[in-house]
Each structure stands twice: as structure tokens, then as C-alpha cells.
Amino acid sequence: MKTLVVGGAGFIGSHLCDALLKAGHTVCCMDNFSLGTRENIAHLKEQEGFTLWEGDASDGDVLAEVFEKSRPEAVYHLAANSDIQASAANPDVEYQNTYTTTYQVLACMRKFQVKKLFFASTSAVYGDKRDVLLDENTPNLAPVSYYGAAKLGSEALISAFTYMNDMKSLVFRFPNVIGPRLTHGVIFDFMRKLEKDPSRLKILGNGKQTKPYIYVTDLVEAIMKFASVLEEDKTGVTLYNLGVEGDTSVTRIADILCEEMGLSSVTYEYTGGEGGWKGDVPRFCYCLDKIHAAGWKAVYDSDEAVRKTIQEVRREKEKG
Amino acid sequence: MKTLVVGGAGFIGSHLCDALLKAGHTVCCMDNFSLGTRENIAHLKEQEGFTLWEGDASDGDVLAEVFEKSRPEAVYHLAANSDIQASAANPDVEYQNTYTTTYQVLACMRKFQVKKLFFASTSAVYGDKRDVLLDENTPNLAPVSYYGAAKLGSEALISAFTYMNDMKSLVFRFPNVIGPRLTHGVIFDFMRKLEKDPSRLKILGNGKQTKPYIYVTDLVEAIMKFASVLEEDKTGVTLYNLGVEGDTSVTRIADILCEEMGLSSVTYEYTGGEGGWKGDVPRFCYCLDKIHAAGWKAVYDSDEAVRKTIQEVRREKEKG
């Protein structure tokens, strides 16, 4: 099938391009390289069935040209600002890179009659519901970050466009996603800090912020498996909370990292408070009944995903 | 208090300007006159405390100028495309006039440190839940119109901006709102058709589409009453389904209209089907427990609101 991966040079997008090509699909990868990198897709450039478009999906004219030339049958939309901490200082980034990209993708799908969509949503749509077991029917979604707001707005757009244009859409609300090609986030920060000064580690908050971390290949496998819903006759939106067994606190991440780096006497310096920064949700927990009942389970639990990521990122670094 | 009413020359906005001025506030009315009209606010132009800005709130620079000059303490945001049927053919209208106006209003409030917001939301955020008694905790909001999607996206933005900037926001999900200065919708359509040909009336759908209609002065009274929440110390979003007793079917509207026009032998010609057009929600019903418990009740029930609107609109027309 001819696929378009918007945000295909990003951390998750590039892994998805790998999987789609491996499954025999052609891949048109579009990216504006704001967070995505050429390195992430360097190994695909010569590969049969892969084409790269440099362009910004929030520009409707540019995107229409990509649709016109590549004529996709299915669109995987992963373009977004994924750095929540950064957009807290500048919400325009979310308006442009997260919401408007979704709007333009849907407007082009409507125009070019493309009916199959995968969308990467997030736990951030729920807001701060730290004491609620979050399932797909949890009410009162109340994002506390501009990122979560733009993603919830995107879900709303997908609902209306899917209904109005008889589309099929698959939406996953991702937890924290980690693995090779990761560019930011707590693991990356800690690693950088400890390389600079292996005697101590400054930790934002009280270190008890606890979230489920999914390994990126587990996530991509789930996308590939459930994309079969886009082949069914039934139109509509299919939504899953995508999660893993267990969760990992920020202090636990530091512990695993120190173990892997062979550091035994690091002093942790906590800045204090429950959240890492304003807009950060300190804890959340997914109910996984729906996705488990549908026959999928992650290979790695949260702690394993953290450890494997640290190992992979260190291996990449050693390779240079 | 210095207030800014965005969309203040519109049907509802202009009634709100009336009420705010009457209560002793100054009103800066901003409108791009896409749906609002100069006639709606003509009676206010010479009034002390009223200023008019012609401009488009989806343009951040223009809006920032209005904030800079008028320095509002509270913003009432009612700017939106309210013609759902029209935007079904062109979703860009909702992206621009409904979602982007909200984004820019919030971005300016953040920039100018304005902390009090009223926002006009809608039953359309729920989507087609015709067999559910809709309360503020109903889960799985799934808009079927581009209008509903842009309003739900706006609510998501308000959630994040309110949290991130310690604001106080009051959100009403309006039912169908009618009354003097109405510019479109079923009552208006039917009246126009019957004036042309009083022998027959073409009705979209099966006529059984049934919704609660609220009279605009009831609605504005509720806004004025609950705006007191913006004066409290507590920050956060306060949300109400704003509704009336009873509901009115499309056929019942035709009946009331014929009665008021003194027409006794009109043939109704139904186009058939449950909804008036794609994206129309044929029925919805609000649970009013929360707003009633808060001590508010509409004066007019749905049928009365319809009859009173017909009488007022006819009176206005006779005046020319």
C-alpha cells in the first residue's frame, strides 16, 4: 500500500517507516526537520519504495503538493511538537506544529479522498488525573499542557472529519515512548548531566513522578497490528490507550542509569515539589483492558524499556 | 469592569453587550462582521462606555492591538462560525473563525495577563449521542461536525491556558439559541419559505429532529449571573450545560410558526431521513441538574422560546 508518514523523520516516525517498508508498503516520508533528523532516516534513503519530502505539514499548499505527487492510500500522522517543556514557554509551537498539522492533514485527506488515518495521540489529553485509572471512557478530559490541548483538539478534528467523510481512523493515546533515536526527555537529560558530572544528579521535582514507559519497537508493532482495522469495511474512529505493564519513577530511572553507567556513589539533588515543571503530570496510570482484550501486549515492561533504552542509546553513542 | 466582547456584534454577543452595559461595565466590542451586523449594535454606538473595534480576532496582531488599547479585565469570547450547515462544505471556516479565534484570544490573555474568561461552547461537542442524557460528565465526546470539533478543541485550549496561567474561566455549552437578531437556522428558513409560498413548506429530514431552544435573554441572564464565579479567588474552569425545560421538534416549530402567521392549510413536504443534513445531530437532551442546583432556571421553556422568537422576528420585520 502507498503510505504517507507525516513526521516520518522523527523518533517514532522513523521507526514506523522502517516497519512499513519491511511489511512491503511504499513510504512517502514528510518532515520539516524541526525535531526529526536526517540521521534517523539516513539508512532508508537508498531503499526501494522510500521517498523523502522536506516540508512543513502545517502549510496546506505544501501538504497538498505532497498528496498530489504521492497519492497515498493511508496516512500515518505523527508530526507534532513532542517537547512539552519547550512549548510551555511558547504555546504557538503547539498551535502550529501539533494542531494545525492535524487540521491540514485532514483537510488534504478530505480533498484527495484518502480514507485511512493513523494518529499518534497522548496520555496528556486526560490532564492531571493522577488518582484515576485512565481508560478510554474516562470523562472530563482536561489537559494541563498546551501539548495535551492541541492533541485533544486534534482528536476532536479526527472525530468530525472521520464522520463527515466516511473515513477509518485509528488513534493511540501513547504513554511516554522511549528507545533508540530518542532526542529529549528525562533519560536523555540525566545521561547528559552524569557524563558532565558523575558525582551528582539534579532531579526536577521530588523524583516520585511515575509514568509508564513503552519501548518504541513495542509501540510500532502495535501500530502495525491494529492498522488492520483500517482495512475493514466499517468506518469510524478506533481508539486505544496504548500502555505497558508497570511504571517507573524518575528516581528509579536515575537508579537504572547509574547501574548501567557503573556509577555507585551519585548524590541525587531534588529540586522538590510533585511535578517536574508546570504542565507536567506527575503520575498517571492506564487501564490496559481494552488493548489486552484485543490481543496485544508489550514485550517489555516499563523498567525494562528504560534499561534497554539506556543500553541502546549508550551503544549508539559509542559507535559515534 | 472593563470588558472585551469578542464577536460582540453577533446575535448573542450584541445581547450580551446590552446586558454588560446595563450592569455598569464598559464594553469594548470587537467583531469582523462576518456574521455579526452593524444593525445589532447600532443602538449602542452613542452609549457611554461602549467602543467598537472592527477586526478579525483570528489575527493575533490585530487582537493584540485591541488588548493593548482597551486593556480588558475580563474577556467574553463569542466569536465563531455559528452556521454549522455552511461550514460542512468548507471546514476552513471553523479552523479560522472558531478555533483560531479562541487560540488567539487565549494567547493575548496570556500575554496581557488577563485572567477572566467567558466562553460560549455548544452541545455539538458531544457529537451524536441522541439516546444519552447529556451531563457535564458524559464521556467520549465525539463531534460529528467541524463546528463541534473546533469548539471542543477550544475547550481543550481553555483547560490548558487556564491551568498554565492561573486563570478563571466560565464555559457554557449552549443548546440552540434563538430570539431577536437571529440570522439563520430553522425558524428563519421556515419563515422565509412561507413568506414566499404560504401553501407548502419543505422540511429537511423527517421533522422529528428535536432540540431544546433557549431564548437569548434567558441565556444572557445566565451568563451575567454565573460570571460572578470569575470574581472568586479560586482559579480553574467552571463548566455548565445551559439548557431549558422541554424541547421542540422541527414539525412543532412549523406548527407554531403557522399558528403565528395565521396559516391553517400548509402542506409539509419532508425530505426524509433522521437528520437535516450530514453533521446535524437529530436529537439531544441535556441533564440540567448542575445548573438548576446552582440556582438558575430559564424563564421560557423551549416551545415558548420558539413562539416568542417568531413573534419578535415578525415584529422586527414589520418595523422594517
* Contacting residues for B221 by C-beta, under 8 A, at least 6 apart: B19, B299
Residues of chain B with CATH 3.40.50.720: 2-177+213-241
| Residue A166 · residue A233 · CB < 8 Å | no
Strand pairing report for B236-241 and B168-174: parallel
How is residue A218 written as a grid cell? 513495542
Query: Phi and psi of A171, rounded to 5°?
Result: -120, 125
What type of residue sits at position A209? Q
| Digit-coded pLDDT (tens) for B16-74 | 999 999 999 999 999 999 999 999 999 999 999 999 999 999 999 999 999 999 999 99
Mind giving me the DSSP string for A81-120?
Answer: ---HHHHTS-THHHIIIIIIHHHHHHHHHHHTT--EEEEE
Residue B279: which of A91, A164, A278 has the nearest Cβ?
A164
Residues of chain A with CATH 3.90.25.10: 179-211+245-284+300-319
Between the CA atoms of A157, A158, A160 and A166, what dihedral angle is there, to the nearest 10 degrees? 150
SS3 A257: helix
Query: B107 touching A, CB under 8 A?
Result: yes
What pLDDT score was predicted for residue B275? 74
What pLDDT score was predicted for residue A275? 74
What pLDDT score was predicted for residue B184? 81
d(CA B190, CA B210): 16
Compute the 3-state secondary structure of chain A and give helix, strand, coil in percent, each to the nearest 5. Answer: 45, 20, 35
d(CA B82, CA A223): 37
Query: B110 touching A, CB under 8 A?
Result: yes
Strand pairing report for B200-203 and B267-270: parallel
d(CA A82, CA A98): 8
How is residue A198 written as a grid cell? 558523575
Where b means 16+ CB within 10 Å and e means fewer, A48-68 reads eebbbbebbbbebebbeebbe
| Digit-coded pLDDT (tens) for B96-123 | 999 999 999 999 999 999 999 999 999 9
| Residue A293 · residue A226 · CB < 8 Å | no
| Residue B309 · residue B215 · CB < 8 Å | yes
Residue B156: which of A91, A103, A143 has the nearest Cβ?
A143
Residue A149: which of B91, B160, B279 has the nearest Cβ?
B160
Strand pairing report for B116-122 and B74-77: parallel
Q: For residue B295, what are the CA distances in angstroms to A46, A192, B213, B222?
A: 69, 57, 20, 10
Q: For residue B258, what are the CA distances in angstroms to A1, B225, B316?
A: 57, 35, 18
pLDDT tier, B246 (very low <50, low <70, confident <90, very high otherwise): very high
| Residue A110 · residue A165 · CB < 8 Å | yes
| Digit-coded pLDDT (tens) for A192-249 | 999 999 999 999 999 999 999 999 999 999 999 999 999 999 999 999 999 999 999 9
Q: What is the mean pLDDT of residues A106-113?
A: 98
Is B161 exposed, middle or buried, given 0-12, 13-18 or 19+ CB atoms closer than 10 A? buried
Q: With CB atoms and an 8 Å threshold, state whether B95 touches A103.
A: yes
Is B49 exposed, middle or buried, given 0-12, 13-18 or 19+ CB atoms closer than 10 A? middle
Residues of A in contact with B145 (CB under 8 A): 160, 164
User: How many percent of chain B have pLDDT more than 90?
Assistant: 90
The pLDDT mean for chain B works out to 96
Residues of B in contact with A95 (CB under 8 A): 100, 103, 107
pLDDT tier, A312 (very low <50, low <70, confident <90, very high otherwise): very high
How is residue A139 written as a grid cell? 470523562
CATH number for the segment(s) A179-211+245-284+300-319? 3.90.25.10
SS3 A261: helix
Decide which of B163 and A186 is more confident: B163
CATH number for the segment(s) A2-177+213-241? 3.40.50.720
- Range with lowest mean pLDDT among A52-66, B131-145, B271-285: B271-285
ipTM: 0.96
Query: Phi and psi of B183, rounded to 5°?
Result: -115, -15
Query: B133 touching A, CB under 8 A?
Result: no
Q: Is pLDDT above 90 for B91?
A: yes
Q: Is pLDDT above 90 for A254?
A: yes
Residue where the block lists cell 551528582:
A200
| Residue A6 · residue A105 · CB < 8 Å | yes
Q: Is pLDDT above 80 for A69?
A: yes
Q: With CB atoms and an 8 Å threshold, state whether B141 touches A141.
A: yes
CATH for the B182-211+245-283+299-319 domain, from 3.40.50.300, 3.20.20.70, 3.90.25.10, 3.40.920.10:
3.90.25.10
Residue where the block lists cell 441535556:
B286
How is residue B28 written as a grid cell? 469594548
What pLDDT score was predicted for residue B83? 84
Q: With CB atoms and an 8 Å threshold, state whether A139 touches B137.
A: yes
Q: Is pLDDT above 90 for A151?
A: yes
A245's enclosing H/E stretch is: none
| Residue A309 · residue A179 · CB < 8 Å | yes
Geometric angle at alpha carbon A131, from A130 and A136, rounded to 5°:
80
Is B138 exposed, middle or buried, given 0-12, 13-18 or 19+ CB atoms closer than 10 A? middle
Q: With CB atoms and an 8 Å threshold, state whether A149 touches B161.
A: yes
